[in-house]
Amino acid sequence: MNIYSLPAVIAFTLNFSIAMLVLLDRPGDTLNRWFSVFVFLFAVWNLAEIIILNSVHYEKALLGAQILYRALFLAPPVFLIIAGIFPRSDRHRPFKPWHQVVILALPVLIMISSFPDFNIFPVPLSNFRNIYYYRIRISSGISIFLLITLSLVYVAWGTWLLIRKLNRARTTRERTRIRFLLGGVLTIFLGYIFINIFHEKGEKMFSFYFFSTLLTLFVSLFFFAAIMQYKIFRLSRLITGSMTYTILSSLVLTVYFLVIRGLSNSLGKLFHINSFLFDALLILILIILIRPLEARIEKLIDRLLYKNIYRYRKNFLVFSRELLKYFSTDRLFQEVRKFLKENFFVDTVYIFYKDEEDPVYRLWKKTTDRSPGFSIQDYLIEYLSRQKTAVEFYDLEHDRLPRDQLLFLTRLHISIILPLFYEKELVSFILIPEKNNKRTFTHEEIEILTIFSNEIANALVRNRTIEKIREQERERSRMERLAAIGELTAGVAHEIRNPLNTISTSAETLLHKDLEEEDKSELLQFILEESQRLNHILSDFLKLSKIHNIHPEETDIGDLLRDLSYEAERRKEGKVEVRLVHELRDPVVMLDKDLVYQVLLNLVINALDAIRVRQQKEPDYRGSLSVRIRENDHNLLFIIEDDGQPIPPEVRERIFNPFYTTKKDGTGLGLSISSNLVKNMGGTLTLEIDGELKRFKIELPRSMSQNTIQHDMQK
């Protein structure tokens, strides 16, 4: 193979690889298909040059010239079709599918009609033997005239279309892509014309061949830049490995032409070895040796092209852990905005959020005026619902957007629209403007944003669910407090009304009737007793609502039980067995002796009252009351147990409620006060039923201190 065809070989490798990448990435997309055909025609051009420049016989060179002829005249119609459908965001497309067929069919029919007279012949270079070049001989034939005229018309038409689209483009990114495509294609077209106009001078010097083959390499670099730098096509990450393979293949070919070819010729002549087999062996050895270098080159390309991806991934993992925490909706959006601004180099982001009962997505915490709402029937919402991934503003059909929305998105220079989906529901979306450094978002960044959106959506829905549960709990707690206040108020009113009635009746009798002194004295006594009863009720009520100060002191549990036993013996009636014991290794503990004694005495009195009620119903019944104190981990456990009148199941949950009582003369505040006192001391008071036994359990800290109590009360 001739060394002078090296640029064409490298260009063919690049162009063929790019054509396949564009086609396979989105084979169903019209623009991808036509662009891959366009690039493939240039690969055919490269292949024809390789055949011509490596042909020893004229017939082979003529075959290459015929291939070149077809590729040259098929490129302009394909360019015109691409100009009509590029870019995707422009929906003012002049060509329908049947128009595209006609545009491509015209030059094909002319070439078929002129077969086999192609009016193109390979001409050997005068300075180099067995190296053919080519030139187009303009004849008087109508076919070649039609082809050249049609090609010029197509190129001019396509240029005019792109210029019109350039004036209509609404974003900087669109204008940049159109300019790049227009400038690149015109440069290729004009460069080819320039080289062929001066072919007479070029045949006399090596520079003509050099510039001609260099043009083919420029074409390859143009297509490569169109994809990698200007993102005319947003290919998947597969392009990294593919382009790596392409570069390595080009490197292998370069080394082969520069080194292996000369080495194989020298060794072949020296050892009389078949050159073809020796070349194959050397190429195999070269590929084996270059394999270890492939991974390093691929990593180098990754770092050059995707140097920010690794940083994004690291920061994204850290932020994902933060999203596991509970945030309010406002706080969550603040954190999201901060993360996007810091990692993607944008000034701000715009978050649109939809309430559950609102069909319109509205801007969260308006950072700009004149922000429109987005209804669920709008084109943008429908498009996001279909795609379910981050999309570029460039990809939208701008003519389908309402004018206010289009102006809003354009004015803010929106580049990426990031939808937040939970299951199939679009709960929110984020508008991300262009970067501060004017660089476009890469495909990998858009993929990371899509993954990022899933995390945000999950966190948003989860936090919203938590907010609902908390709101329901707050509402339930509020209703329970209102119910408790209502029950408390009713209890207070009931307890106060009876003494007030007695006082009122007695006072009216004294005021309006002439009574004897004895009757007056009796009525005054009623008033005094009922007033004392009212005072007792109010005192108990204040005890219920009062937070008592705790005064822990060293207390001997034995002394406490002796005082309690004396009071129980004094108050019991009939046959009652009273047993008070403790199982403590050290009976001296830190607690508020007076409050603990008050609670225990209240529970003992209630137990004796229950035993008395049962004895009245069962004369042969012998009551039992026990108070036991034991240790439980670091706490003290007081157990007050009796077998008196049982508590009906339907009232067990209400016995600690204020003013709830089953006694005729009770206020219903005793157990409520006892429960509050125990809570003030950092403990708990519970009731257990075991058959006929009622068991009240009090659990208190063994070493009670003021700090411990305050901490427990705050909890």
Q: Classify 553-714 by CATH class.
A: alpha beta
pLDDT tens-place string over residues 68-120: 878 888 989 998 998 888 876 666 667 788 888 899 899 888 888 776 665 66
pLDDT value of residue 352: 92
Pick the more confident residue, 92 or 259.
92
- For 310-469, CATH number out of 3.40.50.720, 1.10.357.10, 3.30.450.40, 3.40.47.10 equals 3.30.450.40
pLDDT value of residue 194: 75
Q: How many CB atoms lie within 10 A of CB 406?
A: 18
pLDDT value of residue 7: 76
Pick the more confident residue, 370 or 712.
370
Pick the more confident residue, 160 or 138.
160
pLDDT value of residue 237: 47
Mean pLDDT across 688-709: 73
Burial class (CB in 10 A: 0-12, 13-18, 19+), 495: buried
pLDDT value of residue 679: 82
Radius of gyration of the chain (CA): 47
pLDDT tens-place string over residues 511-560: 777 777 777 787 788 788 778 777 766 665 655 555 566 778 888 888 88
- The fraction of the chain above a pLDDT of 70, given in percent, is 69
pLDDT value of residue 304: 57
Mean pLDDT across 408-429: 89
Helix-helix angle 443-512:309-323, to 10 degrees: 20
pLDDT value of residue 713: 42
pLDDT value of residue 431: 93
Quick one: pLDDT band at residue 418, thresholds 50, 70, 90?
Answer: very high
Instruction: Of 316-325, 332-341, 497-506, give the lowest mean pLDDT range.
Output: 497-506
- Asked if pLDDT for residue 208 goes beyond 80, the answer is no
Please state the pTM of the whole predicted model. Answer: 0.49
Mean pLDDT across 14-25: 80
Distances (CA, A) of 391 to 36, 53, 170, 432, 557: 23, 47, 17, 10, 75
pLDDT value of residue 688: 83
pLDDT tens-place string over residues 445-496: 787 888 888 888 888 888 888 888 888 888 887 776 666 666 666 666 656 7
- For 3-235, CATH number out of 1.20.1070.10, 1.10.580.10, 3.90.110.10, 3.20.20.70 equals 1.20.1070.10
DSSP state of 324: T
Residue in 648, 677, 643 with CA at minimum distance from that of residue 660: 648
Sign of the dihedral defined by the CA atoms of residues 570, 572, 573, 577, in that order: negative
Residue in 226, 93, 83 with CA at minimum distance from that of residue 155: 83
Place of tokens 């974003």: 171
CA separation for the pair 551, 591 (Å, rounded): 7
Q: What is the 3-state secondary structure (H, E, C) of 167-234?
A: HHCCCHHHHHHHHHHHHHHHHHHHHHHHHHHCHHHHCCCHHHHHHHHHHHHHHHHHHHHHHHCCCCCC
- Asked if pLDDT for residue 257 goes beyond 60, the answer is no
pLDDT tens-place string over residues 563-620: 888 888 888 887 888 888 888 888 888 888 888 888 888 888 888 888 888 888 887 8
- Asked if pLDDT for residue 705 goes beyond 80, the answer is no
DSSP state of 371: P
CA separation for the pair 401, 397 (Å, rounded): 7
pLDDT value of residue 663: 58
Enumerate the domain spans of the chain.
3-235, 237-305, 310-469, 553-714
Contacts of 628 (CB under 8 A, 6+ apart): 580, 581, 582, 583, 638, 639, 641
